[in-house]
Amino acid sequence: MQIQFDGRAPFGSLDLEAGDEPARAAAYETYIAYCGRFSVPRPGLVVHHVELSLHPDQPGIYKEREFELDGDELTLRTQAVASEAGLASSELRWRRSAG
């Protein structure tokens, strides 16, 4: 899975080492990426088995997501976690393209 925030500032170069330290930190903070196998232990629950991740501490962990498949739309919901504002979770929606 890869998610990029809107409005990420470009480095101004295609060089993989482009950008100063604050620019690279901002790029890291606005991008989420991990991959690996997944399992569906019960209806409505998918578990992502993280094998590679942009975050160096995540390989080897599991991410549980509730899911709902409605026609061509897949919705994933993260588990709620405590935040300063109370419990927070995220909802991701994908729609299958016609092509």
- Residue 15: phi and psi, rounded to 5, are -60, 130
Which pLDDT score, from 0 to 100, does residue 89 have? 87
pTM of the entire predicted model: 0.80
- Residue 14: phi and psi, rounded to 5, are -85, -5
Which pLDDT score, from 0 to 100, does residue 85 have? 84
User: For residue range 20-77, what is the model confidence (pLDDT) as tens digits?
Assistant: 999 999 999 999 999 999 999 999 999 999 999 999 999 999 999 999 999 999 999 9
Split at pLDDT 50, 70, 90, the class of 91 is: very high
In the chain, where the domains are located: 2-95
Which pLDDT score, from 0 to 100, does residue 83 have? 82
Burial class (CB in 10 A: 0-12, 13-18, 19+), 36: middle
